[in-house]
Structure 1
């Protein structure tokens, strides 16, 4: 049996553009993709904090350092520029792998620069952070 767990997350990214007539996907600043260990064409879930919309798409790399978070294609109807979003990637693993797994959580500032990077786990900074929310 395989379990599906959060592999990484870009927390509170700000949508910079919504491009309805592009062929789908979400364009993410290449620096942010690297920080979150995201690969081009990797499936991601996007959660819009402003309106509650959730959708799956795939990531493509944008210019590193640009701060770009552009939702492309039909999903562009679900977001607006300026919306804060959470971008989550998942990985499947065995129960043994899951016990050792530590997700990467990249916390972002409103301008899509990195505020902090946390590694998840029961005794991590991430667990302490969630208790204080």
Structure 2
């Protein structure tokens, strides 16, 4: 069995960070569904802004809210307006096609990304997927 990428939310923006909570990342329920993330699922948060990486679990936020709120100790590793990549993995003995979601600056769904997409320039940022 191998750990392979199952889900990805690419370039999510932190809307709030609260170190006084037990832990987790609260994600807009709509984005959770698009990326196939479950409540309490383990995720790795990669902070594009400062290079930090840590694991936590997902809690659902209000659908359509654009919320990506980092709670607990992880809140010390980011601040509002930091850019994150949110990753979830699974164990498999076969290749897996991950659900990869690109969001805009308000954490609204833009498009699904795929390995077949080529690198393009979008809003001054190189991303995988889509048309220029």
Deviations 1:6-37 (A, max 9, x none): 10100000000001111100000000000000
2:119 — aligned with what?
Answer: 129
Alignment of 1:1-133 (within 5 A): 2-94=1-93, 97-98=94-95, 101-120=96-115, 124-125=116-117, 128-129=118-119
TM-superposed deviation, 1:119? 3.7
Q: Select the structure that is richer in strand.
A: 2
Dislocated runs of 4+, deviation >6 Å: none
Q: Select the structure that is richer in helix.
A: 1
Deviations 1:94-128 (A, max 9, x none): 1xx22xx21111001011011111244xxx22xx2
Query: Unaligned regions of 5+ residues in structure 1, if any?
Result: none
TM-score, length-scaled by structure 2? 0.88
TM-score, length-scaled by structure 1? 0.87
Query: Unaligned regions of 5+ residues in structure 2, if any?
Result: 121-125, 128-132
- CA RMSD after TM alignment: 1.4
